[in-house]
Amino acid sequence: MCELLGMSANVPTDICFSFTGLMERGGKTGPHADGWGIVFYEGAAVREFRDSTPSCHSEIAQLVSHYPIKSCNVISHIRQANSGAICLENTHPFVRELWGRQWTFAHNGQLKGVKRLPLGCYRPVGTTDSEHAFCWLLGQLRERFPKPPRRPQTLWREIRRLCEQLGAMGVFNMLFCDARQLYCYCSTRLCWLTRKAPFSMAELKDAELSVDFRNETTPGDVVTVIATSPLTENEQWNPMKAGEFRVFRDGVLLL
């Protein structure tokens, strides 16, 4: 299956270190060689990079791994194709607008029968079950809430309910973001860690690279990283359980 990477932070932060580990899994230390993508939130806009080549060989991925783009919310994905051809339009993450916000979605797993779910105004560009699920999910939110609900918890409950409906169709590990909150749903495999003071050294599993975050941060920084499987050797990651739904904002676990 594919692998996911997400970040939620309270100050604009680059994801070069974690992305360097993930990109090695895209055809070198892992089999996820069918394309990759990453989305950075910057204010109300997003900066997107995608490539249908393996991330371990992609010159665009090399650029991203060395270019310290600062963001408070990031979603990335490396693909092992099981639904849809290997091409740019089938490469995650996918982005659409709802309520004047850019929503980003990335998924790993297979969803049997998901294309029988009726779609509204959102339509897939590619042919993956993942993009169909995303279009259905956003369409359901637009239909249920023509305007964004006043209480964030109302929206969280509805997203969780829709995730559970999709999760009943197969494997549904998901990252979903609206520039404010980063939502995570685990069907089989997803884990997270939060880095905050006192910071320490971190060592990647998939590349010979370590960072002493004491030299890269300030005492008030809070950064949460979400991944399919732990990216570092020497840190304690929190595995999510099947059916678990989490919400992060500014690096902090809200739900």
Structure confidence by residue, pLDDT tens digits, 153-176:
999 999 999 999 999 999 999 999
CB 18 within 8 A of CB 244: no
Enumerate residues 6+ apart whose C-beta is below 8 A from 197.
217, 219, 220, 221
Q: 2 catalytic, yes or no?
A: yes
pLDDT at 36: 98
Catalytic residue among 2, 135, 186, 191: 2
Task: Order the strands of the 222-227 sheet from edge to edge.
Answer: 45-51, 36-42, 71-78, 3-13, 222-227, 191-196, 238-239
Q: Give me the pLDDT at residue 104, please.
A: 98
CA distance 141 to 202: 39
pLDDT of residue 219: 96
Kindly report, residue by residue over 1-44, the tens digit of the pLDDT.
799 999 999 999 999 999 999 999 999 999 999 999 999 999 88
pLDDT averaged over every residue in the chain: 97
192: DSSP letter: E
Q: Is the pLDDT of residue 122 over 90?
A: yes
Read off the pLDDT of residues 71-114 as tens digits, 9 standing for 90 and up. Answer: 999 999 999 987 789 999 999 999 999 999 999 999 999 999 99
Dihedral angle, C-alpha 212, 215, 216, 222, nearest 10 °: 80
Tell me the whole-structure pTM to 2 decimals.
0.97
Q: What is the CATH number of the domain that holds 111?
A: 3.60.20.10
Encode pLDDT of 203-249 as tens digits.
Answer: 999 999 999 999 999 999 999 999 999 999 999 999 999 999 999 99
> Are 103 and 36 spatial neighbours (Cβ–Cβ below 8 Å)?
no
What tens digit of pLDDT does each residue of 183-203 get?
A: 999 999 999 999 999 999 999
pLDDT confidence of residue 84: 81
72 burial level (CB within 10 Å; 0-12, 13-18, 19+): buried
What is the reported pLDDT for 1?
74
* Strand positions, DSSP E, the chain: 3-13, 36-42, 45-51, 71-78, 94-98, 101-108, 173-177, 182-185, 191-196, 201-203, 210-212, 222-227, 238-239, 245-249, 252-253
Average pLDDT of span 43-62: 96
Residue 136 belongs to what H/E stretch? helix 129-144
Q: What is the pLDDT of residue 98?
A: 98
Domain count, the chain: 1
Structure tokens belonging to residue 99: 């309520």
- 132 with 117: CB under 8 angstroms? yes
Domain extent, residue 106, equals 3-253
